[in-house]
Structure 1
């Protein structure tokens, strides 16, 4: 008796892009590719891969990654980023949210993007040498000084900024204006803190930060 080899499940993908033309183009090409299924943004929680297209990674791009990480119901969700510029600090944050591959946008065609997406589920990762060195340096800095990026209680610097302003009585709209973030980003930061540290709400988060000495 011969057994037919099982066909692997298609990879489900959600695409986000800084401009609508890039978004539509990527979705059309991915739908034509074998072994892929493009999901609408409202089904992002079930995606295997989130593909992000941007010229430069800004806070909005980071918010996309944070949202994908927070909302995902797939423990194996991976992020593939196609962008020409990302700072060292944002790269380290992005990896925490599931980033596995960074492809330079100006030097990458669709076949390379598709390959990165297809291999990411199996553990594949791609990163230009300069970004990989930056990531290693960030890790070394953390190992030399564990409090350099992570403050007491496992809080990050910008999380402490938000909690400090909450403690001063500001609401999310006021905090967003003061820190020059979107209100959605502020809400994402608060949600990420409460979920990661198993805190009940923002008041509990402020009390926690005070108790561990971060405020």
Structure 2
């Protein structure tokens, strides 16, 4: 630990997201009790140094939090610290792309370790269990062998096709969210992501592009 002492900042600003209010409020209370973390409200999340996420399994809802943080931040050094039970290999790769630097196993992590991970993330120090590092390397090797990864015709990804197929059937965001067991925010983020990435004008254009490319 002493190796990083001179690099670790005296304090960092952080925003907390959690699946339940008890976990979030408890974590925020702990952060307020230390002079090494500056807790920011959601309205100022774009300026945060660290986005701390606490979850069980990393679902698409949790991934949407990371994507939103990456999209909205005005801080080029924003980092994501994730405390969770588990994360799938494809989602781990996506999370790293959004700014994830540290993953802490929820069952074996106390608040002091969370605080140290938050501080070290701003010093350029990543923290991940060895099995996750190996999983990340394996996934990156797979992508190198097949750069298209899970991408389908037209440049779409699997979950995007699921959403576009239901859009083509005339369902709205609320109905799609219920059908796929996602939140409405996640559906909106998926549609926004695909239209932005593929330079499409709107959801109708996205459906048309998917039909023309053979993805639907």
TM-score (norm 2): 0.85
Given that residues 70 and 192 in structure 1 are in contact (C-alpha distance below 8 angstroms), is that contact kept between their aligned partners in structure 2? no
Aligned to 2:60: 59
Given that residues 88 and 134 in structure 1 are in contact (C-alpha distance below 8 angstroms), is that contact kept between their aligned partners in structure 2? yes
Query: Aligned runs of 1:170-185 on 2, under 5 Å?
Result: 170-185=171-186
Q: Rate the CA distance shift 1:97–1:212 in 2: closer, same or farther, 3 A.
A: farther
CA distance in 2, matches of 1:134, 1:109: 24
Aligned to 1:196: 197
Q: Tell me which of the two structures has the higher relative contact order, counting C-alpha pairs closer than 8 angstroms and 6 or more residues apart.
A: 2
Given that residues 173 and 187 in structure 2 are in contact (C-alpha distance below 8 angstroms), is that contact kept between their aligned partners in structure 1? yes
Aligned to 2:47: 46
Aligned to 1:143: 144
Query: Aligned runs of 1:11-22 on 2, under 5 Å?
Result: 11-22=12-23
Aligned length: 208
Given that residues 11 and 119 in structure 2 are in contact (C-alpha distance below 8 angstroms), is that contact kept between their aligned partners in structure 1? no
Unaligned runs of 5+ in 2: 1-8
Aligned to 1:167: 168
CA distance in 2, matches of 1:193, 1:122: 33
Q: Rate the CA distance shift 1:209–1:10 in 2: closer, same or farther, 3 A.
A: farther
CA distance in 2, matches of 1:87, 1:43: 30
CA distance in 2, matches of 1:211, 1:10: 52
TM-score (norm 1): 0.85
Range with bigger deviation, 54-63 or 105-114: 54-63
Aligned to 2:4: none
Residue 98 of structure 1 pairs with residue 95 of structure 2: no
Q: Kindly report the root-mean-square deviation, in angstroms, between the aligned alpha carbons of the 2 structures.
A: 2.2
3-state SS in 1 of match to 2:178: helix
Unaligned runs of 5+ in 1: 1-7
Range with bigger deviation, 121-130 or 62-71: 62-71
CA distance in 1, matches of 2:99, 2:93: 10
What do the CA deviations read for 1:6-40 (whole angstroms, capped 9, x no partner)? xx684221001223232122212222333421111
What do the CA deviations read for 1:136-188 (whole angstroms, capped 9, x no partner)? 12112212222332234443211122123223322212222222212221111
Q: CA deviation at 1:75?
A: 3.0
